[in-house]
Chains A and B, each alone.
Chain A
Amino acid sequence: MRARDDLSMENLEDSCASLRTQIAAIEAQLEGLKRDLANAEAAVKSEADSTGKPHEGQNDAGNRWPLLPEEYKRYGRQMIVSQIGLRGQLKLRAAKVLLVGAGGLGCPAAQYLAGAGIGTLGLIDGDTVEISNLHRQVLHRGKNVGKYKVDSAIEALRELNPHPTYIAHRTHLTPEEAPAIFEKYDLILDCTDNPATRYLISDTAVLMGKSLVSASALRTEGQLIVLNNPPRRPGEKDGGPCYRCVFPKPPPADSVVSCADGGIIGPVVGTMGVLQALEAIKVLTAPETDTAADGSAPHEAPVMQIFSAFSNPQFRSIRIRSRRANCAVCSAEASVTLDTIASGSTDYVFFCGSATASSLLGPDERVSPEEYREKHPLINTRTNGEPEGSHTVIDVRDKAQFGICNLENSINIPISNFLASAPLSTADLKASQLPSWLPSELASPESNEPIYVVCRLGNDSQIAVKKMKELGLDRNGQRYIGDIRGGFRAWREQLDPDWPEY
């Protein structure tokens, strides 16, 4: 019965936690309302100030200064920069900013925005903290692994600056909820990691009349763009371009690489997140544009910033197009509306597609790690003395990954070699014009040893097997060539729990 007691204990603890969270949320809301009131009062006062009525000696000391004494100290260093000033600080305090994604971009962006004294910061993310996030997602602490990223991030942000109101949205952004969430904010930051969500965020931002600071990063590079700035209604040509103006069609799903697959250097994505915070501050504190004589407000031409850590120069500003005359969202011919988003007839997952599920090989061309080990035991103690089951293992991961961990006696031939080799003509095959990267002992016609191909997850290995068969290395079926199903991930699960998981 211990187990049952533990269970009900757990339930009670859960509901305590949930109540605590609700109380915290309502308290945060209350704080926000108080601040809104303070801001409104400050605005009334500064309005009165600007009309020239002196307030010196006003009896209500609480209204004398628009910021709290601590806020003057805390924000003084940025307020004395002329581009910010008290005017800018009050705008920041009145601003409500939503960060979609609390990862590599969202963490540094949120950190700087909280530090700068944004009045309300909302974070939306349905993921929980993983240990593989910590090298770049700088708000999360090791003790918070397993916790919602938004809760972990807000915990750190509160320690940094208790003044802002923090709002946690513990969910992935969905088309159904996006408009209602965006409505509560003035500015949106796209800190997400996939095309479908990026289109959803841009579409919703345009239709809700919000500017959007969008960034992305992979490996050693990053990109940044401020969209729908100034925010204008669909059809109004003087609005800034949206994501669809720049990228009307999504990239093929096969070409989309995630940080988990492609890798990412922490400070690279950090740089982009910090730049997002900077652009957000610029948008929020921008002086009201003086309307030009012809009635049009002058605006800087839209640009995209490209960062490349190992190039010189590292930063590049490129001029991009303005609104697209036939844009599906922000033009007069728009076909995407809040209704089509909410109803699901604008289908983002369909629009962006999904990478083709990979099963290029038949079952007889694949072995599980366990089956491989049965065929080729680790220590050969058979009495006949013959080195039973001599074979070759080709590891097609790239050099960096092979360098992290590899199997003894495996050969490293990165998949890029296979992808670069043109299909051979039969004449080539007769002349045994095999690619130079193929070790000669594999290519030699005397060799009939089986070949096993392995990679990280079991996708590239299938491509390599196909390519080798095209090259005729299987001698019309006389030689076995297959892959290890599930790659090193399965290898670790089935055979070797010590195998590094990276």
Chain B
Amino acid sequence: MAETATGSSTLPITVEFTGGLELLFGNERKHNVALPAQLKDGSQPNISYLLGYLVDNLMQDQRKDMFIMEDNVRPGVLVLINDADWELEGEEMYELQKGDNIVFVSTLHGG
């Protein structure tokens, strides 16, 4: 486990869940997350890494497919990187920066 982070420094970001996704994460909307600043292969953590991290460390509900399907966010979930759709930022390959705000929004359908 010690080898997940080769560098000693961490990368602090905030992660938010809305639209009902917070129910999968202990009913907490906002989480402060410290990722390793560098992964063992020398790369920087990207959104793809974050997804795995959240499932392993933050998600409480056991129904993983309510959040992740086929190693990606499930259909109907928007990922926002600093208030922009992740599709404008490189999707799961986006490399996280210190202080980034990542929001996962489940679409609502009621009316």
Contact = CB atoms under 8 A, between A and B. Distances in A.
Interface of A: 101, 103-106, 190-195, 198, 215-219, 221-223, 246-252, 254-259, 262, 264, 269, 272, 304, 306, 308, 311, 316-321, 416, 419-423
A486 B55 CA distance: 33
A30 B107 CA distance: 41
B110 A262 contact: yes
Given A217-B110, A420-B60, A311 B18 contact: yes
Contact of A216 (B61, B69, B107): B107
B100 interface: no
B85 A255 contact: no
B102 interface: no
A424 to B, nearest CB: 12
B61 A419 contact: yes
A420 B25 CA distance: 9
16 contacts: A104-B111, A216-B107, A216-B109, A217-B108, A218-B20, A221-B20, A247-B75, A252-B66, A252-B75, A252-B76, A255-B66, A259-B111, A272-B111, A304-B78, A318-B80, A318-B103
A318 B83 contact: yes
Contacts of B80: 318
Contact of A223 (B23, B29, B74, B107): B107
Contacts of B107: 216, 223, 247, 251
B84 interface: yes
A313 B75 CA distance: 26
Contacts of A250: 75-76
B109 A198 contact: yes
B62 interface: yes
B71 to A, nearest CB: 15
B52 interface: no
Contacts of A106: 111
Contacts of B27: 416
Sorted from nearest, which 3 A-B pairs have the closest CB atoms? Answer: A251-B76, A249-B75, A259-B110
Contact of B74 (A251, A304, A311, A318): A251
Contact of B61 (A105, A256, A320, A416): A416
Interface string B69-111: 1000011111010011101100000000000000101111111
A170 B39 CA distance: 59
A255 B67 CA distance: 9
Interface residues of B, number: 33
B90 to A, nearest CB: 12
A254 B20 CA distance: 13
B111 A105 contact: yes
A319 B23 contact: no
B7 interface: no
Nearest to A308: B18
A223 B19 contact: yes
Given A218-B108, A416-B61, A320 B75 contact: no
Given A195-B109, A304-B85, 15 more contacts: A106-B111, A193-B109, A198-B109, A217-B111, A218-B20, A249-B75, A249-B76, A251-B106, A264-B110, A308-B18, A316-B103, A318-B85, A318-B103, A319-B83, A420-B26
Contact of B110 (A257, A308, A419): A257
A241 to B, nearest CB: 10
A420 B18 contact: no
A423 B109 CA distance: 31
B111 A216 contact: yes
B111 A215 contact: yes
Contacts of B65: 252
Nearest to A190: B111
Contacts of B63: 419
B27 to A, nearest CB: 8
A422 B55 CA distance: 13
Given A223-B19, A320-B85, A192 B61 contact: no
A321 B85 contact: yes
Contacts of B26: 420
A423 B62 CA distance: 9
Contact of A255 (B74, B78, B84, B87): B74
A247 B76 contact: yes
B110 A319 contact: no
B18 A256 contact: no
A247 B87 CA distance: 12
A188 B20 CA distance: 27
B83 A316 contact: yes
Contacts of B111: 101, 103-106, 190-193, 215-217, 259, 269, 272
Contacts of A252: 65-66, 69, 74-76
B35 to A, nearest CB: 23
Most chain A CB atoms below 10 A, which of B18, B69, B108: B108
A320 B85 CA distance: 5
A249 B76 CA distance: 7
Contact of A321 (B18, B61, B88, B109): B88
A246 B19 CA distance: 16
Contacts of A258: 109-110
Contacts of B23: 416
A230 B72 CA distance: 31
Most chain B CB atoms below 10 A, which of A101, A191, A255, A320: A255
